[in-house]
A = this chain, B = another copy of it.
Amino acid sequence: MTHSSMSLPAIKLRLDVIFEVGRALNSAIDIDELLALIAGKTSELVSADRCSIFVVDGDNRTLWTKAQTGRERISIPIDSGIAGAAASQRAMIHVEDAYLDSRFNPEVDRQSGYITRNILATPMFTMEGELIGVLQAINSNRGGFSTTDMAMFDAIAGFAANALQNSLLYDELRKTFLSVIEVMAASIDAKHKYTAGHTARVATYSIGIARKMGWEEKELDALRVAAYLHDYGKIGIPDAILQKPSSLTDNEFSQMKSHAEITRELLSKMHLTKQYRDVPLVASSHHERMDGKGYPLGLAGEEIPLGARVMAVADVFDALTSDRDYRKAMEPKAAVELMQRQVGTAFDPEVFAVFEAFFEQELNFGTAG
Contact = CB atoms under 8 A, between A and B. Distances in A.
A297 interface: no
A68 to B, nearest CB: 19
Given A232-B187, A270-B183, A25 B159 contact: yes
A160 B191 CA distance: 48
Contacts of A272: 176
Given A27-B129, A159-B159, A269 B166 contact: no
Contacts of A172: 173, 271, 273
Contacts of A28: 125-129
- Most chain B CB neighbours (cut-off 10 Å) among A20, A24, A151: A151
A172 B11 CA distance: 40
A158 B23 contact: yes
A176 B179 contact: no
B128 A161 contact: no
Interface in A121-140: 122, 124-129
Interface stretch (A207-215, A236-244, A340-348): A236-244
Contacts of A173: 169, 172-173, 176
Contact of A26 (B8, B154, B182): B154
A13 B11 CA distance: 11
Interface residues of A, number: 76
Interface in A62-100: none
A189 to B, nearest CB: 10
B179 A270 contact: yes
Nearest to A233: B187
Given A191-B236, A266-B186, A158 B125 contact: no
A63 B267 CA distance: 29
A267 B166 contact: no
Contact of A127 (B16, B23, B31): B31
Main secondary structure of the interface of A (DSSP, over half): helix
A127 B162 contact: no
A181 B179 CA distance: 12
A245 interface: no
A51 interface: no
Contact of A8 (B11, B162, B191): B11
A224 to B, nearest CB: 15
Given A127-B166, A166-B169, A154 B186 contact: no
Interface in A196-249: 232, 235-236, 238-240
A163 interface: yes
A319 interface: no
A17 to B, nearest CB: 10
Contact of A23 (B154, B166, B169, B178): B154
Contacts of A190: 235-236, 262
13 contacts: A3-B12, A11-B11, A19-B154, A21-B155, A27-B125, A127-B170, A166-B169, A169-B173, A176-B177, A176-B271, A176-B273, A177-B177, A179-B271
Interface of A: 3-4, 6, 8, 11-12, 14-16, 18-29, 31, 34, 122, 124-129, 151-152, 154-159, 161-163, 165-167, 169-170, 172-173, 175-184, 186-187, 190-191, 232, 235-236, 238-240, 262, 266-267, 269-273
